[in-house]
């Protein structure tokens, strides 16, 4: 459970620091609403995989800890989950007609 909360926190913080979105005719409230919708979609996309990853960590974590590779495995899993979430968010926003600005 704590791992999922941490993942959601990381995703939320990444979204604050990440690219801004714009669409002609969309005001700040509309952008925020669409972003929240797409962020929820992205979380749904990775939810099942995150639960599987949590199960894997519960069953294999001790082995990885014993051979000194736990942190490496955690980093890989978190990176892959973040990349899937980012791709889903980007696709959702693009489907709503948004483009990214830095």
pLDDT digits (tens, 9 = 90+) for 63-81: 998 999 989 998 999 999 9
Cβ-based neighbour number of residue 67 at 10 Å: 8
Assign 98 to helix, strand or coil.
coil
Q: Provide the token pair at 3.
A: 């791992």
Among residues of the chain, what percentage have pLDDT more than 70?
Answer: 81
Residue with tokens 């978190």: 78
Confidence at 61, pLDDT banded by 50, 70, 90: confident
Among 35, 38, 44, which Cα is nearest to 16's?
Answer: 35
Q: Would you say 93 and 37 are in contact if contact means Cβ atoms under 8 Å apart? A: no
- pTM: predicted TM-score of the whole model, two decimal places: 0.72
Rounded to 10 deg, the angle between the 2-17 and 70-95 helix axes is: 50
Give me the pLDDT at residue 83, please: 94
């Amino acid at each position: 459970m704590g791992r999922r909360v941490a993942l959601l926190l990381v995703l939320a913080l990444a979204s604050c620091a990440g690219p801004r979105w714009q669409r002609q005719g969309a005001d700040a409230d509309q952008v925020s609403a669409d972003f929240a919708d797409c962020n929820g979609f992205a979380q749904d996309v990775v939810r099942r995989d995150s639960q599987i990853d949590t199960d894997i960590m519960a069953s294999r974590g001790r082995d990885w800890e014993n051979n000194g590779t736990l942190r490496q495995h955690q980093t890989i899993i978190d990176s892959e989950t973040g990349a899937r979430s980012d791709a889903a968010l980007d696709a959702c926003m693009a489907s709503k007609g948004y483009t990214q600005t830095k």
